[in-house]
Amino acid sequence: MEIKECIETRRSTRKYKYEPISKEVIEDIVKKGQLAPSWKNSQTPRYYVALSSESIEKVNSLLPDFNKERTQGVGAYVVTTAKKGLSGCNAEGEYFSHLGNGYECFDNGLAVENMALYAHSLGYSTLIMGLFDEAGLRSYLGVPDDEDIVIVLALGKKDIEPKMPERKRIDEVLKIF
Ligand SMILES: Cc1cc2nc3c(=O)[nH]c(=O)nc-3n(C[C@H](O)[C@H](O)[C@H](O)COP(=O)(O)O)c2cc1C
């Protein structure tokens, strides 16, 4: 799939039919996440993947009802975290950019988008979710205190043809000088 088509046709998907996903496919997708740029190549994203039916069910149970419902039947959840104190930091580990620790989430988003686009090119659909039971997920996955949980990415085979939500007109968002 051409990059243009991949970007234009990726859609957030909110209805899935279960099909197992192999560990090899998960690794392949996460490796594409790792290829994303990051602050000074600090590579702060970490990946926790629920792949067994038990872990999928557990992560699903830690989502708010609407996300729970929307991602029934996914083949995996990829939970991404950001290791703190690296991205946007000086050698002493102090955040020194105008965005504070914002570049940690920026790096994470780049990795997540890489994975979503690559998964789409392989025929998998995704839903990026920012709402979940943070404490429950942290405890279940054993996420250490020096990582922030950023996103739960649902991954699976779609059971719907999602329409693209409208985008703003280009003149509403673009200023060229
Ligand atoms: C940071 C972030 C958090 C999101 N959280 C949710 C969510 O909790 N539930 C959901 O259904 N969609 C969520 N979305 C998906 C957006 O609603 C979706 O990307 C947007 O409507 C554009 O649609 P598209 O992805 O099909 O282009 C999230 C997207 C992003 C980038």
Pocket test for ligand 1, best of 72, 74, 108, 127 (most atoms within 8 A of CB): 127
Query: For position 56, what pLDDT does the model report?
Result: 98
- For the chain of 177 residues, list the mean pLDDT of each consecutive stretch of 10: 97 98 98 97 98 98 98 98 96 94 97 98 98 98 98 98 98 98
The reported pLDDT for the residue numbered 175 is 98
Residues, the chain: 177
> Is the distance from the beta carbon of residue 158 to the nearest atom of ligand 1 less than 6 Å?
no
Nearest-CA residue for atom 6 of ligand 1:
129
**pLDDT score at 129:** 98
CA of 127 to the centre of ligand 1 (A): 7
- Number of folded domains in the chain? 1
Question: What pTM value is reported for the model?
Answer: 0.97
Which residue minimizes the CA distance to atom 5 of ligand 1?
Answer: 129
Note down the domain range covering 151.
Answer: 3-173
- Assign residue 167 the CATH number of its domain: 3.40.109.10
> Closest by alpha carbon to 83, among 113, 36, 137, 47?
47
